[in-house]
Every structure is written in structure tokens, then in C-alpha cells.
Amino acid sequence: MGTVYYAARDGAAPVAVKAIRSEYVLAPGFRGRFLREIENARQVQPFCTAAVLDFDTGDTPYLVTEYVNGPDLRQQITSGVPLSEHDTKRFAIGVASALRAIHNAGVVHRDLKPANVLLAVLGPRVIDFGVAAALVGPARTGADRGDDPDVPQWLTPAYMAPEQAQRARHQGSFDISRPADVFAWAGVVLYAATGRAPFGEGSFAELFDRVVYEEPDLSGLAPDLEVIVRRALHKNPYRRPDAGQLIASLLGDAEAEPADQVWETTIIAPPRQTVPEPTGRPPDIRSLNGDAGGANGAGAGIAPGTRAPEPGRPRRRRRAVAGLIVAIAAVLALVAVLVPTSPISPWHPYARLGACSTVNIYTGQHGTPYNAYGKKLAARITERYPGTAVDVLATNGTGDNLLRLQDPAGATCAMAVVQLNTTVDARFGVNQFSNMPLTDLRTVGPLWFDLLHLIVRADSPITTAAQLCDRTISTGLKSSGTEQLGQVLFQNLLKCTPSKVASDLPRGLADLAAGRIDGLLWAGGAPTPQIVRALGDGLRIRLLPLADELPAMMANWDAAYRFRLGSRFIAGRVYESVPVTSGDYGDVPAVNTIGAPNGLVVDKGADPDLVAFAARTLDIHRADFEWALWGADDGRQFRSVHDAISTSSLYCLVPLASAAEKYYEGLGIRASCASR
């Protein structure tokens, strides 16, 4: 981005002065971004970088940093002096430590590469962090950019992460955050050891497919280091370790586990049970559940204020204890018949669901049917397993939920309420998940449908979806199922691109009422409480019929997935015609619209006890979720679990989790996965 000068004056310590090139200075908004990034850089611990000493954003912006006496890594390797195996590991630890300090300061480097790592005498220093994010270089020529006009000039293709490549090419909503730095760290470490980048050198166009789709060449790395580097090069950013985990693995504090490891369930045993002494009254059953008093369980079963028996009368105590044991054994035998088997009995106050001390349920916006479904499931878990806490988390919607399931630290005890068609997109890396497949997703079971609401004001002249093509509409939040279905409806079917406003449902309804938008798209159960409240506040609406678009929507689905999957394509129901009834929204006329099935999804490493319990709840407590949507006295019912699973291709395209599949097979329920 500029030229670096060595500067010294009056015997003071030398400094490095970087003057910014004029083409960057003229870029719109550069000065503000440059200033913000420098402020971020000053928050970083100076031990790991060249400390910022001064800067100016005037006519010729410049940056003054500590002078680091040493070559950068690229100069070192190209001079023919590679790092030894032990030096490479020291280097890897040093750069990972620098990354951790940078990330702890809230900064993301975004352009870590050999030229940005200086080999100082006392350890590597990472430079130019965060500054790259401030730059919006001028447009490149076609030869430079490989026919990709929006590729940032600062992006170094040989060390870019897949999400950086995708964002540069497709301008999608790919988060460029700390995992991108970890990916680049792995490439830099490989270069230090071998003189090669993991996917070779070349232009953006030449390297795009290799970075996004192909496996890296890690030959030449020491075996223990190769395992760690391979984890850091995972295509899915949510499967990469963070900088702290890199350091722990490099130091031997944590085993470098494969990113796709399935964690085993660990059962936490209840406290040791101690038989209470006789007190002249029936034993306190709570003491049998482990409520022992005193340190280390001493005095368990002795009522407060009761003196412990003296050691001089063993025979009577033994006879009393023996009689009590017989009585307790009879009670426990009866309990064993009446209570389902469990490592810890469900009525025990510390009973946990599998290995989960806390379960996260990712739902949707506050007050939506998804959120209500999550609360019903949470109530069933805490009722049966009081030792497991449950957090029902409001989110942007399906896409957001599926990405949250990629967190390896929390995926074992997490579930998500999602649109199943969008889950298929995620598993195969299409639409909003373009070329970033989430292959570890698994289904647990069905709920109901997200009904596609295309809403206009009652006084609007618009009567068809096509009339909204040149208008302004709300299409839900980023990474939501509504956004994905809107893309299918307007771009794929109607071949148009309305002006879109991303907003949550309450904001979208307010904008519609105020006339700031012409229409609103919402995918959710009917009735949706936020819409009901808006009607109560005076909004008058009409729903546009969409059932006529169903054949084209199914044809679009079949064409898209048959082309991508070939022999793996599975035919079957995906979208369906579902009515919004006249009773759902008061005076709003009934219409037939398109329904997209929804359900529960987990990561394939989810705790099997959690999965089995959730599948059973979806089956035998189906009324809970019907009431969450329609109320206790509505009379409508969800489609049965058997019908939903056995007739839809969705449970083949995103297979059932093993524990759920085992539960359903016990009921004779199987997904029908014959291809055509």
C-alpha cells in the first residue's frame, strides 16, 4: 500500500515510516477507515508486532512504527535459508501468539502472509495487521484480476481463506473474521517449513478453485505439525481452531484432534448414596438421591439436630440397617419398573440429559413460531432432566442457526429449528451457502411448515408477486430462511430483482404501514404473533396468493439439485400448497400459499441422548408444538412424524441423525430414499 523508509534522528532509536501511495489516498472513504484501523492497531500488545508510534492522515498519510531489525519470512526463504524443523515450530508458536494478541484486541489481520512476518532476533513480529481492511484499492486491469473486477487489491491469493475467495468473487455475506487469519497462519507455517504455499502460487483466478475445493499439499511438514496445520486449513471456518487452541496444541497442552471428531457421551454419576440411620420415622427419600450433609458426605442421612449413633452398640444398628435395606430394596425395585431406565433417574434433582449440562436451542426472531417451538422443547427437557439447563436463543433465522451449529465447542449440546429446504442448500453449499457446504448437518424430525406470506397493504393496487419486481420489499434478515425463499421466488422464478430491504419482521411491518416499502415477504407459521399484533395496531393488509407458483418452484428445485447431485438426487415432496385460513389473521381473506417444511437439525456429533430425547418429544408430544402455533383449542394438527419423514426427500438429502434414525426405526418409520 506504500513505501517503507528507514529513519533515524539525533541518535534516537531508528523507526520505520510507511508513506501511503496516492492512489489509495484518493479512494472514497479511505481516510476514515485508515484512522479507525490505526486506532485498532494501537490496542494490540506491542511485543508481537512493530509498535505504532505515530501517524498522520493529511495530504500524504503516513504511519510510523518501531523498526524491527530482521528480514521478513519471504526474504529469508527466497535467500535460500529455510527454517529447520525445530525453528519452524518455534516460528509457528510465535506467530500464533501474535495472532492471539491481535484477536484479543478486536482486530482481524485479513492479509497474513510471509512478507508480513518479520524474523526479529527474539521472535517473529506480525506487521500490517488490520491496515489491509482499511484499503479499497483502485480497480485492477482484467489481466491482474483474472476477470474478477471486485477482488481487493490487497488480497494475497496464495494465503486467502475460502470465505475470502468466495466474498471476493461473489460479493456474498461471508464473514471474514478470526478463522481467516488462522487459515493464513497455516499457509505461512507451511511456507516457513517448505518454501511452498498450501495451494501453490498464482493469480486469484488460478487459485480460486484450489483454495475453495481442493486439499492442500502438506508434504514436508513434521507429522505432529501437519495435523495441526491441516485442522487450521479446514474449508469450513467454524471447524478451525482459534489462536489459543493452536498454541495449546503446539505446546502439547491439548491433543490435536481431527475437526470432524464425534465426541463420546460422558455420564456424570450421582453423588454416592448413603443409607440413613433409623430415627423413629420413615427414611427421608431425598437422602437416597444424594442430598448428603457434611464434608465429603459425612453425616449423610442424619437429620439436623440428631446426634450420630455411638459406636458401642453395633448389633442393634446392624439389624435396623439390614431391615431398612430390605425395605429400600423393595421401593427401588418398584421404581425400576415404573421409571424409564436412565444413568441417573429423571426425578433426581441433578439428572442430566446425556453429557449436556446446558443445551442451546437456536430458534428465530423473538415471538415467532420458531421461538415458541424452542420454548416448548426446552420445557420438556427441564421437566425430565432438571440437572440440564436450556437456553432458547433468538436468532436471525435458519441460515444463522445452521452456522451456529458449526461451533465445535458447542455443537454437542445444541439443536436448531430450521427450514429443511434451506438446510439442504447448506449441506450442499448452494444459494446463500455458495460453495461452503455444511456437510455435518443431520435432521432430528419434523415440525410443521413455514408459510410464505407475501404481504401488501389492503389499499395497494398490487395483486400478483410479479408486480413487485420493480418495487421495494422487505425480505427478512440476513441469513434467514425468508431471504433464501425470496431469492428462489423472485430471482429464480420471476427472473427479477426487486429493491430489497433487510429487516426483522416488526420493522418490516412498520415500514409497510408507513408506506416506506411496497411489500413484505415472511416465511413462518400462520398465525405469526407479530403480524397479529400489527393488525391490532391498525395495519390493514392482503396476502398475495402464491400456490400457482408451486409447480415452477418444484421444477426449479428438481432442476437445481438433479444437476448438482446426479445419481445422488432424491425425488419427493419439498414445497407444498398450504392454506392461510380466514381465522389466522382476523378479517384478512384466506389464500393458498407455498409451505416449506421445518424441523429440528443438529450437528452429526450431537449427544445421542439429546437427539433421541428430542426425536421422541417431536413424536409423542406433538400437541405441545401444535398449541405453540395455534393454541390449545384450535383443533388443527400437524402432519404425523411417519407421514412427514416417509414421503419427503428432505430426510434423504439431509439424513437423520443416528440416534433419531434408531428411534424412528423402532416405530417402523423410515425415510424413503430411492433415487430416480
Predicted local distance difference test score (pLDDT) of residue 328 = 45
Q: What is the pLDDT of residue 255?
A: 47
Taking residues 454-475, report their average pLDDT: 95
Mean pLDDT of 445-473: 95
210, pLDDT greater than 50: yes
pLDDT of residue 347: 44
Q: Output the pLDDT for position 484.
A: 85
pLDDT attached to residue 599: 96
Question: Taking residues 110-115, what's their average pLDDT?
Answer: 91
pLDDT at 433 over 90: no
pLDDT value for 474: 94
Q: Output the pLDDT for position 376.
A: 93
Torsional class of 3: left (φ above 0), alpha (ψ -120 to 50), beta (otherwise): beta
The pLDDT of residue 98 is above 60: yes
Would the pLDDT of 675 be above 60? no
Is residue 18 pLDDT above 60, yes or no? yes
Q: According to the model, what pLDDT value does residue 270 have? A: 32
The answer to whether 291 and 367 are in contact (CB under 8 A) is no
Rounded to an integer, the average pLDDT of 231-247 is: 90
User: Is the per-residue pLDDT at 557 higher than 80?
Assistant: yes
| pLDDT score of 218 more than 90 | yes
Q: Is the pLDDT of residue 120 over 60?
A: yes
Q: Among 411, 110, 112, which Cα is nearest to 259's? A: 411
pLDDT at 352: 86
pLDDT at residue 313, rounded to an integer: 40
Over residues 430-439, the mean pLDDT reads 81
Range of weakest confidence among 200-209, 362-371, 635-644: 200-209
Name the residue with cell 420413615.
Answer: 282
Q: What is the mean pLDDT of residues 487-503?
A: 91
Neighbours of 135 (CB within 10 A): 20
| Between 632 and 379, residue with greater pLDDT | 379
Instruction: Report yes or no: 59 and 139 within 8 Å, Cβ to Cβ.
Output: no
| pLDDT greater than 70 at residue 276 | no
pLDDT score, position 153 = 55
The mean pLDDT value for 213-224 works out to 90
Between 559 and 328, residue with greater pLDDT: 559
Number of continuous H segments (helices) and E segments (strands) in the chain: 24, 16
Give residue 222's pLDDT band: very low, low, confident or very high (50, 70, 90).
very high
Q: Could you tell me the pLDDT band of residue 356, with boundaries at 50, 70 and 90?
A: very high
The residue to which cell 505515530 is assigned: 54
User: Given a cut of 50, is residue 14 above it in pLDDT?
Assistant: yes
Q: Does the pLDDT of residue 320 top 90, yes or no?
A: no
Average pLDDT value for residue range 351-380: 91
* Residue 624 bears catalytic tag: no
Say yes or no to pLDDT of 171 above 70. Answer: no
pLDDT of residue 134: 44
* Percent of all residues in the chain with a pLDDT value above 70, rounded to a whole number: 77
CA distance 126 to 113: 9
Which of 111, 440, 518, 607 is catalytic? The answer is 111
Compare 624 and 256 and report the one with higher pLDDT.
Answer: 624
Annotate 356-421 with three-state secondary structure. Answer: ECEEEEECCCCCCHHHHHHHHHHHHHHHHCCCCEEEEECCCCHHHHHHHCCCCCCHHHEEEEEEHH
In the predicted model, is pLDDT for residue 247 greater than 90?
Answer: yes
Which of 140-154, 518-532, 585-599 has the weakest average pLDDT?
Answer: 140-154
595: which strand partners?
451, 576
Place 315 in a pLDDT band, splitting at 50, 70 and 90: very low
Using alpha carbons, list the distances in angstroms from residue 322 to 206, 264, 482, 568: 81, 39, 66, 65
CA 350/CA 355 separation, integer angstroms: 12
| Residue 154 pLDDT greater than 70, yes or no | no
Q: At 561, is the pLDDT very low, low, confident or very high (cuts 50, 70, 90)?
A: confident
CA distance 325 to 274: 11
Q: How much is the pLDDT for 261?
A: 37
Which carries the bigger pLDDT value, residue 129 or residue 621?
621
Contact at 8 Å (CB) between 557 and 568? no
User: C-alpha distances in angstroms, 148 versus 140, 152, 174, 214, 435?
Assistant: 9, 10, 17, 20, 17
H/E stretch holding 603 reads: strand 591-603
Residue 326 has pLDDT above 90, yes or no: no
- Residue 97: the pLDDT is 95
d(CA 78, CA 73): 9
Predicted confidence band of residue 293 (pLDDT cuts 50, 70, 90) = very low
Number of Cβ atoms within 10 Å of the Cβ of 626: 19
Beta strand 441-457 with 414-419 is: unpaired
Mean pLDDT (the chain) is 79
Q: Is the pLDDT of residue 674 over 60?
A: no
- Rounded Cα distance between 306 and 466, Å, is 82
- Tens of pLDDT along 414-430? 999 999 999 998 998 88
Residue 19: count of CB within 10 angstroms of its CB? 15
Q: Is the dihedral of CA 600, 601, 602, 607 positive or negative?
A: positive
139-143, 289-293, 320-324, 414-418 — most confident range: 414-418
The residue among 396 and 495 whose pLDDT is bigger is 495
pLDDT at 182 over 70: yes
Give pLDDT tens digits for 35-74: 666 776 777 888 888 888 888 877 778 888 888 888 999 9
CB 480, CB 399: distance < 8 Å: yes
pTM of the model: 0.52
Q: What is the pLDDT of residue 135?
A: 39
CB 502 within 8 A of CB 476: yes
pLDDT value of position 333: 46
Give residue 609's pLDDT band: very low, low, confident or very high (50, 70, 90): very high
What's the pLDDT score for residue 36? 66
The number of angstroms, rounded, from the C-alpha of 56 to the middle of its chain's C-alpha atoms is: 40
